[in-house]
Chain A
Amino acid sequence: MNKMPQWADVVLIPLISLLLAAILSALVILAIGENPWAAFKLMVDGALMRSAGWGYTLYYATNFMFTGLAVAVAFHARIFNIGGEGQAMFAGLGVAYVCLFIPWPHWSLALIGASVGAAVFGALWALIPAYLQAKRGSHIVITTIMFNFIAAALLNYMLVNVLRPPRSMDPATATFPEATHLPSFRDMFSTADNIMFRGAPANVTFFIALAACVLVWYLIWRTRLGYEIRAFGFSESGAKYAGISPVRITIIAMLISGALAGLMSVNTTMGESERLVLNSTEGAGFIGIAVALMGRNHPFGVFLAAILFGFLYQGGAELALWTNIPRELIVVIQALVILFTGALDNMVRMPLEKLFLSMRKGDA
């Protein structure tokens, strides 16, 4: 018997957690002498009321969907992939190589090529920690964190010494050829007399992220592989009994996870900056952990949580631009959301469970 109805678990708990985070954030804003209501309005205005705002919100959300899915898939196998950041960084190299060194006739083909490049590079970067975990028992949380730093250093080296165009002072690749430029939302949705998403970086990659959500759902709940991944995640001894190889599942789940994290770099590198720059991931790999946590490792939950964090990112940028609220405080607000929706989940859950139990007892 479940302790409470599923809608309460999926909808009510995140909502209450969000509300608590919002109240605490409001208090913090109040404490520095700003008006929380005005700040909230500014965030909503900036992130959701104009198409350009949406263009930024969805751009960030695209990143978070990929990294959130990456964490979610690994977590179904009870593997904690903290390395999304590094995998996305390394995947940026894949995108850069595909875009710079293959003469693409059309952006659609280039998109497919770059996606494959990103996925393969991301998966490769996840493969080594996965192998070490599966075969040598090295804890994957530790190794993936270490690999984030290695990826950052490697990217730095590659950009400064190998991929930087001659005479450029900027640690970045050359701009990708015209044919690889992805259509932005502005290109796709504007009409001659009504320009939408002006200046916003959201691009066609958003739809790949949506497709990834659907595909991950099928993978986890409809395929044999997903069945094995979940079984392994629930009980390793059970998996062994059924003849499911722990080594195989660990490695496959991490490959898929790494590939998903890697796909994020298509959005940032190919879709937005159109060249590979340092720190193109901007911490999205870590936000993915919060997104997966809040989304209950379910693709639809990840989708919603990604939009929410996209809103927080874009709304936060607006706050920093238009008010005296410092940039650091926006990080505090984001941290509060992560804290309440993720780490303090049980604080909301346990009283609610008690409430539902006593309600049910009343029925009986």
Chain B
Amino acid sequence: MTTMTTAPAIQLKGISKAFGPVQANKDISISVQPGTIHGIIGENGAGKSTLMSILYGFYKADKGEIWIKGQHTQIPDSQAAIAAGIGMVFQHFKLVENFTVLENIILGAEDGALLRPSIAKARKELQHLAEEYGLNVDPDTLIENLSVGHQQRVEILKALYRQADILILDEPTGVLTPAEADQLFRILARLKEEGKTIILITHKLREIMDITDTVSVMRRGEMTATVKTSQTSPEELAELMVGRKVLLRVDKKPATPGDVVLEVENLQVIDEKGVERLKGIGLSVRAGEILGIAGVAGNGQSELLEVLGGICDATGTIRMNGTELPLTGKGAHGQSRRAAGIAHVPEDRQREGLIMDYSAWENTVFGYHRDPAIQKGFLMDNAAIQEEAQAKMDRFDVRPPHPKLAAKNFSGGNQQKIVLAREIERNPDLLLIGQPTRGVDIGAIEFIHQQIVNLRDQGKAILLVSVELDEILSLSDRIAVMFDGQIMGERMPDQTDEKELGLLMAGVVQTPDASLEKVVDQQFALQEEEREGTR
């Protein structure tokens, strides 16, 4: 190993940063060896993004030093970070949609007032980078016509074009299919081989275990541990993240499905722009089973939930316990769906499930506020609602247990518990639940999963939508995969695996053909071959 003699690519010494009374980073020191992949893992709000923002010059640390390649470096802005060889790939891409790949790459790094020479130079450089790292993208395509995975490649290319040899990736797989994520990891491995240093920020334990050399764990603004990945386990990392032992697997008995509760036939949704979001799908959910809908975000799952929850209009048929529900007009809103026994934990709890400015107690009746049981004459029986809210918050372990606190002051996990408490305790026949653990800490995930399984065991039907394949696989009793507004197929969780589901999520229907992987990985495979050839 030569790393003993070379200076660390990045060394942070005693970084502290406070926002008002909140200490986002507390005395953080970290040392990243060149040519390695270093993972930073931690729950939401643990301070990962703040730390990286300091490194990239978005925030200035209150205290502490940054050393890049053995040099004490000041990074007052992102220009300085780029000059120091740091490139950042954000979770939400910063690309101009109606520019070509080339135009995006030179944006901000043009050589002069005229574009032509810059573009010509970039084109040559891009070709070179593509060969070196297997980062193939057509330079003249508009960004809006690229898949998400390719857009991410453009972000990486942007950083490399600016001579970055330290790459920071913030939650890079959040928007990718499993196959795309695999491709990304292969690219990262290749970059590492070529001597680049990579910092990978994520909350997914599996990614850390798969690809990193070293991993640092953050909790509540502090760096709790830095360990060699080969010498740790997911269980240990989870414990370091949360501060206590965590059950990573869902504990559940086999399902005992009963009668069909929900039947959907030929459901079609066309949005305001005239795009067909649901292309005539059909499914059914039985009592006492969890139907998981897998798929990459934006393939119609949201619309499915919205139609069932009475938020958006559709055509087709929905039957609830054998009774047809209206899909347009007066009877097709949230109130009548609740009356039909459908409870809905929406995907976006901050925009839909909760009124963030309402106190917790007001939120515990949101959607059920017309229930005669909580009215007193012309007025709402606020005292009774508050009392019940307190009880609900105790039962669902919402912290802090203060009903008068505004919803926006709770953490993501506790907000989700408020929504769950409201919907589950209404004793619905069918629970729609979208992204139950998005933005939720590991500790609360365990609790939320248990609540969902408990509800199933009480004989309720559950329709689960999640982009986390792990979650779908561990919770569902049956899995349907959605792609482009259609259901690509149904599988039983014990008879399938991530690979098969990943292909379905990418719109590839399994055939007996052996060279399946090529269909998705075609481009990558070709590149590999090309590279082999050129050597």
Can you pick out 25 interface pairs between chain A and chain B where the beta carbons lie within 8 Å of each other?
Answer: A218-B379, A222-B382, A223-B380, A224-B369, A224-B370, A227-B369, A231-B355, A231-B366, A235-B351, A235-B356, A237-B351, A237-B352, A238-B351, A238-B353, A238-B366, A240-B311, A240-B333, A240-B352, A241-B346, A241-B352, A242-B369, A243-B334, A243-B336, A243-B338, A245-B333
- The residue in chain B whose Cβ has the minimal distance to the Cβ of A360 is B21
B-side residues, CB < 8 A to A, are 20-21, 309-311, 333-338, 344, 346, 348, 351-358, 362, 366-367, 369-370, 375, 378-380, 382, 409
Contact A357/B21 with A218-B379, A235-B351, A245-B333 known, Cβ cut-off 8 Å: yes
Q: Is the CB of B357 within 8 A of A234?
A: yes
Report the 3 A-B pairs with minimum CB-CB distance, sorted nearest first. Answer: A243-B334, A243-B335, A241-B352
Contact in complex: B21, A235 (CB < 8 Å)? no
Chain B residues closer than 8 Å to A243, beta-carbon distance: 310, 333-338, 367
User: A31 at interface (Cβ–Cβ under 8 A)?
Assistant: no
Residues of B within 8 A of A223 (CB): 378-380
Report the Cα distance A357→B18, complex, angstroms.
13
User: From residue 323 to 364 of chain A, which have CB atoms closer than 8 A to chain B?
Assistant: 357, 360-361, 364
**In whole Å, how far is A117's beta carbon from the nearest beta carbon of chain B?**
24
Contact A1 B409 (CB under 8 A): yes
B362 — which chain A residues lie within 8 A by C-beta?
227
Assembled-state Cα–Cα distance A357/B409 (Å)? 16
Contacts of A231 in B (CB 8 A): 355, 358, 366
Residues of A within 8 A of B (CB): 1, 218, 222-224, 227-228, 230-231, 234-235, 237-238, 240-245, 357, 360-361, 364
> Across the interface, do B344 and A241 meet the contact criterion of CB distance under 8 Å?
yes
A218 to B377, CA, bound (A): 13
> Residue of B at shortest CB range from A222?
B379
Least Cβ distance of B311 to chain A in Å? 5
Separation in Å of the A199 CB from the closest CB of chain B? 41
How far is it, in angstroms, between the C-alpha of A364 and the C-alpha of B18 when the chains are bound? 14
In the complex, are the beta carbons of A222 and B380 less than 8 A apart?
yes
Bound-state CA distance A1–B402 (Å) is: 12
A270 → chain B, closest Cβ, in Å? 29
Q: Which residue of chain A has the shortest Cβ distance to B378 in the bound complex?
A: A223
Q: Which residues of B contact A360 (CB under 8 A)?
A: 21
Known: A241-B311, A241-B344. A235 touches B355 (CB 8 A): yes
Query: Residue of A at shortest CB range from B354?
Result: A238
Residues of A within 8 A of B357 (CB): 234
Residues of B within 8 A of A361 (CB): 20-21
A224 with B334: CB separation less than 8 A? no
Interface residue from A230, A234, A242 paired with B334 (Cβ < 8 Å)? A242
CB pair A240–B380 under 8 Å, yes or no, is no
Given A234-B357, A241-B353, A242-B335, 14 other A-B contacts at CB below 8 A? A227-B369, A227-B380, A228-B369, A234-B356, A235-B351, A238-B354, A240-B311, A240-B333, A241-B309, A243-B310, A243-B338, A357-B20, A361-B20, A361-B21
B358–A240 CB distance below 8 A: no
Say how far A301's CB is from chain B's closest CB, in angstroms.
17
Residues from chain B with a CB closer than 8 A to the CB of A230 are: 355, 358
- B residues within 8 A CB of A245? 333
Partner of B375, one of A224, A238, A244: A224
Residues of B within 8 Å of A218, CB to CB, are 379
Q: In the complex, what distance in Å separates the CA atom of A237 from the CA atom of B348?
A: 10
Q: Which of A228, A230, A235 has its CB near the most chain B CB atoms (within 10 A)? A: A235
Task: List chain A residues, Cβ under 8 A from B382.
Answer: 222
Q: Could you say which residues of chain A place their CB within 8 Å of the CB of B311?
A: 240-241
Closest CB-CB distance, A214 to chain B, in whole Å?
Answer: 13
B272 to chain A, nearest CB (A): 12
Bound state CA distance, A231 and B185, in angstroms? Answer: 44
Tell me the smallest distance from the CB of A215 to a CB of chain B, in Å: 11
A361 — nearest CB in chain B belongs to which residue?
Answer: B21
The distance from the CB of B472 to the nearest CB of chain A, in whole angstroms, is 23
Q: Nearest-CB distance from B451 to chain A (Å)? A: 20
Q: How far is the CB of A70 from chain B (nearest CB, A)?
A: 21
Quote the shortest CB–CB distance from A328 to chain B (angstroms).
41
A contact residues around B356 at 8 Å (CB): 234-235
- Select one of B21, B309, B344, B355 contacting A234, CB under 8 A: B355
What is the bound-complex CA distance between A133 and B123, given in angstroms?
A: 50
Cα distance A234–B137 in the bound complex, in angstroms? 43
Q: How far is B376's CA from A223's CA once the two chains are assembled, in angstroms?
A: 9
